[in-house]
Amino acid sequence: MSQFSDQAPQRPPNPRHTAVVGLQWGDEGKGKLVDRLAGTPGVFDAVVRYNGGANAGHSVVVEGVRYALHLVPSGILAPGSLAVIGNGVVVDPERLIEEIDGLSARGVDTSSLVLSSRAHVVMPYHKAEDGLREELLQASPVDASSPSKNVIAAIGTTRRGIGPAYADKVQRATAIRVGDMLRPELLRSKLDMICGLKNSVFRALHPDEPEVFDAGAIAERMGELGRRLRPMIKDTAYLLNGLDQEGKTILFEGANATMLDVDHGTFPYVTSSNASSLGIGPGTGVPPQKIGRVIGVVKAYSTRVGGGPMPTELHDATADRIRERGREFGTTTGRPRRVGWIDLVALRYAAIVSGATELGLTLLDVLAGFDELRLCTAYATPEGRTERFLPDGFELAEAEPIYETMPGFCEEITGVRSFDDLPGPACRYVERIESFVGVPVRTIGVGPDREQTIERDATVAAGGLA
């Protein structure tokens, strides 16, 4: 084994460009953090999405109004900055237009939205394929929350067509990019070939009631949507690198999260993109060395939607209380989220691969009222105890969490605005997270509103070693 240290790297700060990325399984509260950072005019010239699609859901509360964003970057709510959908995103144009119209109807100016011509399009057959694959997998008698070795259960996808759209991107010949929506003849001839192929796959998978896709009708609809989107379609790689050369600042907004990253998450129970900060380069064309500040967003506990292993999952009254206090129901699908104690082993790995230079801890207020708090600091596996995250979802499903227990706090903290005013046990809890992960916690969320945030000038704290 190499001399690699499990201590998360402390990179020298180069604050020009910033990334905000979830370090768990999504829904960490990235939207609020992005909105807080970008909400001050002039701080960021562009807010950029680089991965995922309408599977993501960001709730942002501004002046008491809740906005649920799926494809549009949270930066749309920030006056004076561009909101860019980068080439790494898979775009469902119907949903994008719905979202734009919804925002406009609520008085939000959407003229700053820019869409990459290189982004791939989620087509109607992708959504059908996503649903059908899930149904076929669901028919297998496997419990996705604890899959046994060598048997794949349903992924529990959002059924937004994300996986099939990324699969076609990698297949190349069967992909449609946003730029293709502007070339009717090319689009039609591609769709003739693609629909022929897809229809035969649907016939084979579902011979009784195969879905049939009509190339002509789809080409016409996509052409219409393309005409509507045309003014915002640009070469965003040049746009973003141009901003960089002019000395402007960019905020990269992650969607989904590091534990759902197709390479580094709990594979195969992941999404289909590089949802850690590693996706920024390929998903925007901006090279990674331009980003000096990476804010890893982490809930004070764990949640997950969909299938796949989650070592600290709880199925008791503690889970119910956390779910209720944290309003843990999906923004995109409304599904109740699976809930558990914080998993520091997974978190430290996520902080390492995402290059987190600081942590944004969210939802600490949800943990008020417990006598004790538990933190997973190692796994018991059939091969023995380990403090390392496991690279395989099936292996992880067999790991048992080993906990450290700390005293809880009973006071409500939603009104607290300074670290020193937090109850002592809450401070110790935060400090334990940063000492284990080796990255300072710079902000602490104590409620959903932009203002319910504690800013902290922390330096770290020795990181633990595996």
Smallest distance, ligand IMP to C-beta of residue 80, A: 27
Smallest distance, ligand IMP to C-beta of residue 308, A: 6
Binding site residues, ligand IMP, CB under 6 A: 25-27, 55-57, 155-158, 160, 162-163, 255-256, 260, 271-272, 305-307
Smallest distance, ligand IMP to C-beta of residue 166, A: 9
Nearer Cβ to ligand IMP (26/285): 26
Which residue number places its CB atom closest to ligand IMP?
A: 306
Contact 13, 431 (CB under 8 A): no
Smallest distance, ligand IMP to C-beta of residue 330, A: 7
Smallest distance, ligand IMP to C-beta of residue 1, A: 31
Residue found by looking up tokens 């640009």 in the block: 234
Nearer Cβ to ligand IMP (71/232): 71
The catalytic residue among 58, 70, 120, 264 is 58
Q: Give the angle 342-344-346 at the CA atoms, nearest 5°.
A: 100
Nearer Cβ to ligand IMP (255/390): 255
Say which residues have a Cβ less than 8 Å from residue 30's Cβ, sequence separation at least 6: 20, 21, 22, 58, 74, 253, 254, 255, 297
Nearer Cβ to ligand IMP (27/398): 27
Fill in the DSSP letter of residue 46: E
Nearer Cβ to ligand IMP (267/403): 267
Whole-angstrom distance, CA of residue 325 vs CA of residue 341: 14
> Taken in order 293, 299, 305, 308, is the CA torsion positive or negative?
positive
Contact 328, 375 (CB under 8 A): no
Examine the residue annotation and report whether 58 is marked as an active-site residue of this protein: yes
Contact 433, 376 (CB under 8 A): no
Smallest distance, ligand IMP to C-beta of residue 275, A: 8
Nearer Cβ to ligand IMP (81/157): 157
Examine the residue annotation and report whether 6 is marked as an active-site residue of this protein: no
Contact 416, 454 (CB under 8 A): yes
Nearer Cβ to ligand IMP (85/162): 162
Q: Give the angle 130-121-33 at the CA atoms, nearest 5°.
A: 85
Please choose, from the candidates 248, 243, 278, 282, the residue with its C-alpha nearest in 3D space to the C-alpha of residue 260. 278
Whole-angstrom distance, CA of residue 165 vs CA of residue 211: 17
Contact 297, 29 (CB under 8 A): yes
Whole-angstrom distance, CA of residue 91 vs CA of residue 96: 7
Surface-to-core class of residue 449, CB atoms within 10 Å of its CB (0-12 exposed, 13-18 middle, 19+ buried): middle
Nearer Cβ to ligand IMP (15/336): 336
DSSP per-residue string spanning 399-441: -EEEEEEEE---S--TT--SGGGS-HHHHHHHHHHHHHHTS-E
Smallest distance, ligand IMP to C-beta of residue 90, A: 10
Please choose, from the candidates 239, 127, 227, the residue with its C-alpha nearest in 3D space to the C-alpha of residue 178. 227
Nearer Cβ to ligand IMP (247/334): 334
Say which residues have a Cβ less than 8 Å from residue 173's Cβ, sequence separation at least 6: 193
Say which residues have a Cβ less than 8 Å from residue 380's Cβ, sequence separation at least 6: 399, 400, 401, 402
DSSP per-residue string spanning 234-267: E-HHHHHHHHHHTT--EEEE--S-GGG-TTTSST
Smallest distance, ligand IMP to C-beta of residue 69, A: 11
The catalytic residue among 27, 35, 168, 261 is 27
Whole-angstrom distance, CA of residue 46 vs CA of residue 248: 8
Other beta carbons within 10 angstroms of residue 139's beta carbon come to: 9
Smallest distance, ligand IMP to C-beta of residue 204, A: 22
Active site residues: 27, 58
